[in-house]
Structure 1
Amino acid sequence: MTEVRSLLEVVSARPASDGAGVKLKRVMGTGSHQLMDPFLMLDEIKADGSGDLGAGFPAHPHRGIETLSYMKVGGFRHEDHLGNQRTIQSGGVQWMKSGRGIVHSEMPVPENDQLHGFQIWLNMPAAQKMSPPEYSDIKASDLPVFSEAGWSGRLLLGELEIDGEQLSAPLKREITEPLLLDLVFDGNGTMTLPLSQKKLMVFVYRGQVKVGSKSGRIIGNSELGVFSEGDELELSAEEKAGVLILAGNPLNEPVVQYGPFVMNTREEVMQAVQEYQRGEFLD
């Protein structure tokens, strides 16, 4: 029997600043929601003009995580010590596996003075944290899109079945089976998606959505809904709305974070700090 997922709680995004003065909304990454295993962080960046973008995100290190940046409007230019120099545009995705260590920068590239996008941190299994770093980017035209009456979606990460058709994004991860989906309601629509991963969150970046057909509960703009386990997600909207859906299976491993380093023990974090200070990330 199919079990529809219920809304457990709603968390409001908080204003924050990161990098060299970039203003953003921290949706996930503070307090009790710091570790929504396997997700570690979700930030929304939205700016009109350059005043909110500061000097971007200058060169900085990472170890032990994967980052995924998705731009709805505008882009980001990525550079790293491996020699990658790439820019994604509206609708594109950047993915970076920091593994044992990478030093990179991300500089905003507004489109008509507009910028709107998200960055997600995804934890890595302990056995893979010291693997070689990697980078790739995906154009908007290479991402699967689909539409139903009243709503449409873009699959950014993972796999999803829609009306018997299996959709697969260019980027997939096997162990945690994470899924990232951008869903847009065009004014009045109801959608049901088969989502069986143990963890499920819905962030509303525009408008508001109603959960299920019976609960009447609402997730409003700039709010994150945390859901129970189950088989299906039901959402509806009476006006235009946009949501980011994150789903995945937890690693259930210890997490110790110090800024951009996410490992399993304090000793491993201290080792990362010392190796970065000695310049060993650049070897």
Structure 2
Amino acid sequence: MTISALTRSSRSIVKSVLSREQAEGVGARVRRSIGRPELRNHDPFLMLDEFNVDKNGGFPDHPHRGFETVTYMLEGQFQHEDFAGHKGTIGPGDLQWMTAGRGIVHSEMPVKSQTRAHGLQLWINLPKEHKMCEPQYQELLDKEIPRATPQEGVSIKVIAGESHGIKSKVYTRTPTMYLDFKMDKNKTVEQSIPASYTGFIYMLKGTAYIGDKEFEGKAHHTLTFSEDGAETIKIQTKDEDAHFVVIAGEPLKEPIVQHGPFVMNTKEEIQKTFLDYQFGMNGFERARDWHSTIA
């Protein structure tokens, strides 16, 4: 890394929020990051959960409309199945990027032979023109996700977007970067971020020091970036390793009306969504008589 690169001003951290465990679904515990009252609708992101699900728990039949869910596994295996017959299993390091669009009903359940399933689920809002698109899945195994290694002891999985010249193959309707960092102790790295993006770090393990003022981030804290137009974020480790994700995206700057698993732009659209789901119309036709075989 050049000296000039290290002298660029870094974005700073404007808020740090601890995610405490709460019950969710059936037999699941989540640490909610984005989506807490302190971090409501961090445009374009709606929610980030770090989930732990025991083998008898899960998230049985539930609908979505108007956004995307991104499931990234850290430990264990998750099965998924939807009303269109799409099904599969993702394991440690694997990714499922699901565009719910006009309508999906699905189940997400741990593989019963596993002790637990542990991972992250991110909800990304869709722009108005894509809210009623056809549902789509993008799935990548751990080995298919490219890595950047800007220096020894720093590994970056490029789930979406780009890092140090390595680009993801994931197509994002809402421009998004999603990077999984593992850093040994006593390392410093800079990550480029488009000036217009909002973003945050979610700490999974260890301690990292962010920005020129070396704001300290610890496990299970969400650290939101300043929106000052700076195009880099500087991250350091000192006396311990760190594992965290960097997530950033282009704000949509559109009205958000959310009711549980439905996210639209107006109250009228939400009301219509409830009618569509209730009567099996406009994308929910297959929901009427469907029940998951894995739930």
2:17–2:38 Cα contact (<8 Å) kept: no
Measured after TM superposition, the shift of residue 112 of structure 1 is: 5.5
The answer to whether the 8 Å contact 2:145/2:158 transfers is yes
1:1-283 matched pairs, under 5 angstroms:
2-46=8-52, 50=54, 54-109=56-111, 113-147=115-149, 148-160=151-163, 162=164, 166-174=165-173, 176-196=174-194, 197-212=196-211, 214-229=212-227, 230-238=230-238, 239-280=240-281, 281-283=284-286
Q: TM-score, normalised by structure 1?
A: 0.91
Assess, with a 3 A threshold, how the Cα gap between structure 1 residues 187 and 115 changes in structure 2: closer, same or farther.
Answer: farther
Give distance in 1, aligned partners of 2:222 and 2:18. Answer: 6
Does the CA contact (< 8 Å) of 1:102 and 1:282 recur in 2? no
Contact 1:156 1:179 in 2 (8 A): yes
- Deviation per CA, 1:180-212: give whole Å up to 9, x if none: 010011233111111124202001110111113
CA distance in 2 between partners of 1:2 and 1:190 (Å): 14
Name the CA shift for 1:41/1:111 in 2 (closer, same or farther; >3 Å).
farther
Amino acid at match of 2:25: G
Deviations 1:87-131 (A, max 9, x none): 111110011111111101101237852432100000000111111
CA deviations 1:133-154 (Å, max 9, x no partner) are: 1123111111011222332110
Q: Does the 8 Å contact 1:172/1:178 carry over to 2? A: no
Q: Which moved more, 1:214-223 or 1:82-91?
A: 214-223
1:265 CA drift (Å): 0.5
Q: Secondary structure at the match of 2:251?
A: coil
Percentage of identical aligned residues: 37
CA displacement at 1:282 relative to structure 2: 2.9
Q: Distance in 2 between matches of 1:116 and 1:55?
A: 12
Distance 1:86 1:2 in 2: 44
Contact 1:103–1:282 under 8 Å retained in 2: no
Distance 2:128 2:114 in 1: 42
Partner deviation per Cα, 1:157-201 (whole Å, 9 max, x = no partner): 1223x1xxx322121225x32000100112331111111242020
Paired positions, count:
273
Query: Secondary structure at 1:56's aligned position in 2?
Result: strand
Partner Cα separation in structure 1 for residue 8 and residue 186 of structure 2:
25
What CA distance in whole angstroms lies between the structure 1 residues aligned with 2:237 and 2:112? 29
Q: Which amino acid aligns with 2:171?
A: K
**What amino acid does structure 1 have at the position aligned with 2:129?**
A
User: Structure 2 vs 1, CA of residues 150 and 118 (structure 1 numbering), >3 Å: closer, same or farther?
Assistant: same
Mapped to 2, the partners of 1:109 and 1:39 lie a distance apart of 28
Separation in 1 of the partners of 2:210 and 2:57? 39
TM-fit CA distance, 1:54: 4.9
C-alpha separation in 1, matches of 2:96 and 2:123: 12
Gaps of 5+ in 2: 1-6, 287-295
Which amino acid letter does the alignment assign opposite residue 27 of structure 1?
S
Give SS of 1:268's match: helix
**Structure-2 separation of matches of 1:209 and 1:114:** 27
Q: Is the 8 A contact 1:84 1:135 kept in 2?
A: no
Partner of 2:293: none
Deviates more, 1:120-129 or 1:272-281: 272-281
Give the aligned CA root-mean-square deviation in angstroms: 1.8
Q: Which amino acid in 2 is paired with 1:131? A: C
* Contact residue 182 and residue 243 of structure 2 kept, 8 A: yes
Distance in 1 between residues matched to 2:154 and 2:98, nearest whole Å: 30
